[in-house]
Amino acid sequence: MSDDLALRAERLDAADELAKVRDRFVLDDPEETVYLDGNSLGALPAAVGPRLQDVIAREWGRLRIRSWDESGWWTAPERIGDRIAPIVGAAPGQIVTGDSTSVNVFKAVVAAIRMAGPGRDEVLVDAATFPTDGYIAESAARMTGCRIRAVAAANLAAQIDANTAVALVNHVDYRTGRLHDLPGITAAAHAAGALVVWDLCHSAGALPVGLDEHGVDLAVGCTYKYLNGGPGSPAYLYVRRDFQPRFDSPLPGWNSHRDPFAMEAAYRAAEGSPRGRVGTPDILSLLALDAALDVWDGVAIETVRAKSLALTDFFLECVAAYVPEGLVESVTPVAHEQRGSQIALRCVGADEVMRALIAGGVVGDFRPPDILRFGFTPLYTSHADVLRAARTLGSVLGSVSEGIT
């Protein structure tokens, strides 16, 4: 069996359309380290270091204030947003980059409540949401006089009604890797006259999202996972084009003013996606992200999705082959239409197991109380990586379980 799996890994990697993209990243020797934590922090694209050296030495060091115009700093939030747009299925002019995901969730939820109109006083949240989304939604509801209700994502479409102002949903569950029904939930919300804000943190860059195709109202996402923008890299905000004139941001900063340098006392909102800005753009991290997005040149998101499913399928098969039966249980759906780009395995002593895996050169992560998470970034993960990870997991579980049971 192990020889068969090794041969298959070799054949799959030889046929991999994305194999050449791996060279665009700074990676460890795969014989030493297999990195399967791109769903928390993507690997470093090789173009980022030289780009930032130029930004620091020339644009900031010599041009200084002139770089706002001469180096395009001022328009970077929209320009980089337009580079993210095709990855998430959006036309240009609908995404602005900047601030954190949390800040953008706040903008989007409050603006959605304001656009929903009178009589709609309920905010629905995915019951298994990433904690910050829940915290922000609860605060936004409290500030706007709404009530909040947590609903399992699988039941959201049926729970949206005439009282719903907005539903906030994670496209992929951060803990289990379950892919939620973006087209179905969005359509159900629209049928009931409500809006949806989608959190794309665990889907953008790993699978097709289709924001425009599915009529998504508002979406937010981070860029340091599958988009590989670096630790704390700026998030982004998508506002559907026909909603932009009505988008009433709860954080109207000088950068989202129609004429920022007029320094007017009264606020007049900018046209288009700049309406989602707040303060001065964080240029160093924005330009690091800009360089990181070069890895997507010539890459189709459909190819990424096909490889993601192949990697996760192969990992599950290798786990079944190398891990003794009964030691792990996958909580990630088997069905492709319900799976993101990670596999979450439940096991006893998961924290200790993950520490042993990392010591053995396989880097994933742990989520309490008992989940091992493995994120598969198709741009740089190989089938050989997957095979080695499963082998190491089997070895670790064989030894660690003896001390736990």
Return the H-helix or E-strand segment holding 366: strand 365-367
Contact 33, 363 (CB under 8 A): yes
Nearest to 45 by CA among 270, 289, 257: 289
The half-sphere exposure of 378 on its side-chain side, counting CA atoms within 13 A, is 28
Active site residue 107: no
CA distances from 301 to 13, 192, 210, 255, 306 (A): 18, 31, 11, 32, 9
Return the H-helix or E-strand segment holding 188: helix 182-191
CA distances from 358 to 267, 299, 372, 374 (A): 52, 30, 12, 12
Distance, CA of 340 to CA of 322 (rounded, Å): 23
Active site residue 147: no
**What does the block give as tokens for 53?**
């050296």
Distance, CA of 140 to CA of 103 (rounded, Å): 11
Among candidate residues 25, 35, 106, 130, the one labeled active-site is 130
Contact 158, 188 (CB under 8 A): yes
Among candidate residues 199, 217, 290, 370, the one labeled active-site is 199
Active site residue 224: yes
Active site residue 373: yes
Distance, CA of 135 to CA of 308 (rounded, Å): 31
Among candidate residues 240, 275, 373, 388, the one labeled active-site is 373
Among candidate residues 24, 83, 175, 225, the one labeled active-site is 225
Contact 80, 283 (CB under 8 A): no
Active site residue 226: no
147-151 and 122-126 strand pairing = parallel
- Catalytic residue IDs: 130, 199, 224-225, 373
